[in-house]
Each structure stands twice: as C-alpha cells, then as structure tokens.
Amino acid sequence: RTDNTDQNKQTGLMERDPRTAWWTQGRFGMFIHWGLYAVPAQGEWFMYASRTPVREYENLAEQFNPTEFNAQAWVALAKEAGMRYIVITAKHHDGFAMYRSKADAFNIADATPFGRDPLKELAEACEEAGVVLCFYYSHVIDWHHPHALHKEHNNTWDYKLEEKRFQEYWEGKAKPQIKELLTEYGRVGLLWFDTAGGLSEEDSKDIVRHVQSLQPDCLINSRVSHYMGMGDFVSKGDNEIGMSGEDARPWETPMTLNQSWGYTTKDQVWKTADTLIRKLVNVIGKGGNLLLNVGPTPQGTIPELSAERLREVGEWTRRNAEAVYGTDGSPFPLEPEWGAMTTKPGRVYLHIHNGAWTERSLRLTGIRNKVLRAYALADVSQTNLSCEQFYDEPLDLHILQIQLPSQPTDQYVSVIALELEGE
Ligand code: H79
C-alpha cells in the first residue's frame, strides 16, 4: 500500500535538474555500434576474440567503404522510432575512430577509401532534425594503441603489458580525441564511457574535469569510473532493467535488438516489437531511459530487421507520446503484473499489456485523488471509461475500479490515461 503523496512529489522533483532534463524527459534514445568491425561482421569484439594483429586489423580499413551511409536516413529512423537522442560509437575498443581525427590516423576519414566523416554528417543531420547527438568513447580499452591499459581486456598479442605506459595513451590519444569530439561537432548531449576497469580515481576525475572544461553541460555516464557516484546518470548493466530508488541519479538501460551490439551475420535472435514495447514501458515505468542499439552494416545501412522493428515501436510511441516523454515513473514500489505506470502532474498512465486484457475491469489501490476522467489514449473518440472509487475503511485502502473497453485499444500495450484532481 503506497498512498504516499510525498513520494509522488519526490518522483516529480527528480526530473527538474536542468542539466539532465533533456535526457530524462527524452526517455528513449538510439545506440549505434558502428566501426571497422562491421567489415568482418562478427561483432565489436572481433579483434580481441580472434587476436588479430594490429597490422592485419588495419588492413580491414581498405575494405571499409560504406557508400550507402546516409546520416539523414539514420536520424529520420531514430525520430520515426520516437528516439530523442543518438549515442554513436566515436571509438570502440578496437581503437578505430569513426571521424576525422588529427590525434590519431587510425580513423575512417584518413584510413579508408570512404574518406568522409560520418560524425560530422550526423551532427548536421541531428541539428536539422532536433535530435541530440552523443558519443560513445572507449576511454580505457584500446587494442590498437600500444599503451592502453585495462584491468582485463588488453592487446597482449602485439604489445607487452610490462612495456605499457598508460599516460602515453591517456595524454596522447584518449584526451586529445575527446577534445576533438567536444570542440568540432557542436553541442554534444552526453559522452558514454564504457568499461573503466583499472582506471585510477585520479584519472577518472581528470577525464570528468576535461569534459566539463570543454562542454560543461555535456552529461557523463557512470561507466566513466568504478569509483562510486561518478557521472551524471547511471548506465545499468547491458540489457539490465533497474529499479527506481537505488541511486539518487537518473538511470538508463542499454539494450540490444538482437543479442549483439556491433553488426554480425551470426546472431539472428531478434526481440519482437511486442517485447521491445513491453521493455520500453517497463523501463520508463521505473523512471529510467531506454537506449536501444542498432549495429549498421559495412555498407553504411541499418539492417532492415532492425529498422522494421524500430518503425513498429515508433507507431506505438507516436500514439502514446503523452504517456512516454516528460513522464515520471510510477510512484508505487511494486511493479503491476499487468504492465507499468507513468505519471505527470495530475495524470497517471496505465500501460496494460494486451495479454493481461482478460478482465473487463482493472482494480487499482493507492490512488487517493479523485479521478476526473479515464480514457484510452489510442481511442480517437476518447470515450470516457466508467470509474468507481471508494475507500475501504477496514483495509485503509483507496480503491479505483476502471471499466476497460471490450478489446485492447492499441498494438501490444494499451494505455489508459487518468485525469486526476490535484497533482
Ligand atoms: O559496447 C558494448 C560492449 O562491447 C561493451 N559494452 C557494450 C555497451 C563491453 N565492453 N566490455 N564488456 C562489454 C564486457 C566484456 C565481456 C566479455 Fe566477452 C566476456 C569479454 C570477453 C568475454 C562478450 C563475450 C565479449 C566477448 C565475448
């Protein structure tokens, strides 16, 4: 039982930090894992898994010519899916920069026949479309650089661990490249760091200061460091859905569409649109963001199996935008078995899985406010649903009984909006 208006207010307050507001309100972003590893098409860990020598791996660059890359098309797909920001791998663990980097020649503009700067093209397309561009940067793991030093996943087939001098990598590549990303691509919404294993507290703080000195409003995720409490928001484990209230900071779930991040021809285990929409409402109902990944091909396209799923998710997010963007999670600690809840001042949205649509009425406990109106969001006529509210004195429970339409009103998850008296 959680008739708790104080908790309601707290949930509301979480969203009001002006630096993170665009991100928490946006709720849904596109993750893009794209790099030289698209060529062998076995995921972004290919170089490490196959222990491919640096010189041999570099040769892949000659074959990387993604002439079908179209920044506007990618941004349009993100927008169509209902995603408000994009996080693209500027450099993954293989050390290959996906932009024109003066700091290191191992980059797409200088080392491939393609010769273009996809991040510059994306920055322009995002600016035009009102989508926030963000960069993933592998700050500790770099299998190309002789001096990158990580707790576990180092290139030990080309380089000797004992000869590594981490500061040469740090000052010579990581920091200069981060500077390029934060000075040559306009506003960067956030930097997504990954896998900080072994990074000292001092170097963790050094990189945060570096980012803040260049773009103070650029957000940083928690994976920048293993030291507690660093970063503006928490990235949960890959594909892990968090719980609200564990950490004062806002959080996200990074999620794959299949079981991989980088492009691979091997993995064909795709989540259905039904699953994706249920995951999305589960995450936002707990107050988190969903960062959903695509792994583009070596030709520069987003695989059609990914695109078709995102378009289907987008049809749903378009109809239910009001219950997604700018919402807070549920004020109730228990996850309802029928789906999820989101809230706005004076409003509650019930995201009901269509599979749970067996009863003709839904019984909710804990809402004290008078319900002024209830209707299905996807119902164009917005017919009022009849509601009954009463207070069960012996149980000390506020009970709301809503008469549901005879059939689900939307694909996969049907949303009922409640207008409440007061906040
Ligand atoms: O970018 C994606 C991953 O490549 C990256 N984080 C997400 C967002 C990541 N870096 N490190 N890890 C994930 C954890 C490493 C897991 C490993 Fe393995 C298990 C490395 C070796 C065994 C996974 C399975 C990768 C290769 C085999």
Residue 329 belongs to a domain: no
**Could you tell me if residue 83 is inside a domain?**
yes
Give domain status of residue 330, yes or no.
no
**Ligand 1 cavity residues, CB under 6 Å:** 33, 44-45, 49, 194-195, 238, 254, 261
Which 8-state DSSP code applies to residue 143?
S
Shared domain check, 45 and 182: yes
Same domain? 393 vs 303: no
Q: Is residue 291 part of a domain?
A: yes
Shared domain for 311 and 351, answered yes or no, is no
- Is the same domain home to 286 and 156? yes
Report yes or no on whether pTM surpasses 0.90.
yes
Within this chain, do residues 281 and 358 fall inside the same structural domain, yes or no?
no
pLDDT tens digit sequence for 23-74: 999 999 999 999 999 999 999 999 999 999 999 999 999 999 999 999 999 9
pLDDT at site 139 = 98
Protein residue with its CA nearest to atom 4 in ligand 1: 44
- Clarify whether residues 179 and 65 are in a common domain: yes
Give residue-wise pLDDT tens across range 230-265.
Answer: 999 999 999 999 875 668 899 999 999 999 999 999
Domain count within the chain: 2
- Tell whether 354 and 252 lie within a shared domain: no
Q: State the residue range of the domain holding 358.
A: 345-420
Is 228 inside any structural domain?
yes
Domain boundary among 323, 355, 389: 323
Does residue 8 lie within any of the structural domains? Answer: no
Choose one of 323, 355, 380: the last residue of a domain.
323
Q: Does any domain span residue 406?
A: yes
Do the interacting molecules here have an ipTM over 0.85? yes
Share of the chain above pLDDT 90, in %: 91
Q: The domain that contains 349 carries what CATH number?
A: 2.60.40
CA distance between the termini of the chain: 19
The CATH code of the domain that includes 217 is 3.20.20.80
CA nearest ligand 1 atom 10, residue:
195
Same domain, 280 and 396: no
The verdict on 202 and 271 lying in the same domain is yes
Q: Is residue 10 part of a domain?
A: no
> What angle, rounded to 10 degrees, do the helices at 273-285 and 304-319 form?
50
Task: Tell whether 121 and 89 lie within a shared domain.
Answer: yes
In this structure, the answer to whether residues 95 and 215 fall within a common structural domain is yes
Helix (H, G, I), strand (E, B) or coil at 152: coil
Ligand 1 center–CA 194 separation, angstroms: 10
Residues 68 and 33 in one domain: yes
Contacts of 37 (CB under 8 A, 6+ apart): 43, 44, 45, 46, 47, 92, 94, 96, 262, 263
Which run of H or E residues covers position 202? helix 201-214
Distance from residue 40's CA to the centre of ligand 1 (Å): 17
Q: What mean pLDDT is predicted for residues 342-361?
A: 93
**For residue 362, what are the contacts with CB-CB under 8 A and spacing of at least 6?**
338, 350, 352, 401, 402, 404, 416
Please name every residue paired with 413 in a beta bridge, in sequence order, or none if there are none.
353
Ligand 1: distance of its center to the CA of 235 in Å?
15
Determine the residue of 156, 194, 240, 291 to mutate for testing ligand 1's pocket, defined as the one with the most ligand atoms within 8 A of the Cβ atom.
Answer: 194
